[in-house]
Amino acid sequence: MSPNKLATKVSIAGGALYVVYDSGLLGNSVQGSEALGKAKAAVPPAIEEWMKYFGLQLPTMPKIEFSPVQGWNSGVRWTISSLSEAPTKANEYTNQGLQYIKDLVK
């Protein structure tokens, strides 16, 4: 790989990392939620401006109401719930498997 290609790739990766860090995406869930709100406000006008510039027409964007904070919390709750139910479920599945084998042996 030539030094110019390497320098270009490192510059792009470093710039992307700086933008992500500066916008708060590497912070906590509240900072991520704020960054998502900023992006939801800035991206549609920018896309509309580019579409006018290039003379293209895109279908309207669907409205997505999603909060990363709620998504994170529901994922954590689901994981903890699954881990707490794991011994009981393992016992149930073992009993069902043993019953199935007993039925086959009969």
pLDDT, tens only, 7-57: 999 899 888 888 878 877 777 777 777 877 887 787 778 777 877 887 777
pLDDT 10s digits, 2-11 = 888 889 998 9
Q: What gap in Å lies between CA 86 and CA 64, rounded to an integer?
A: 34
Q: What gap in Å lies between CA 16 and CA 22, rounded to an integer?
A: 10
pTM, entire model: 0.37
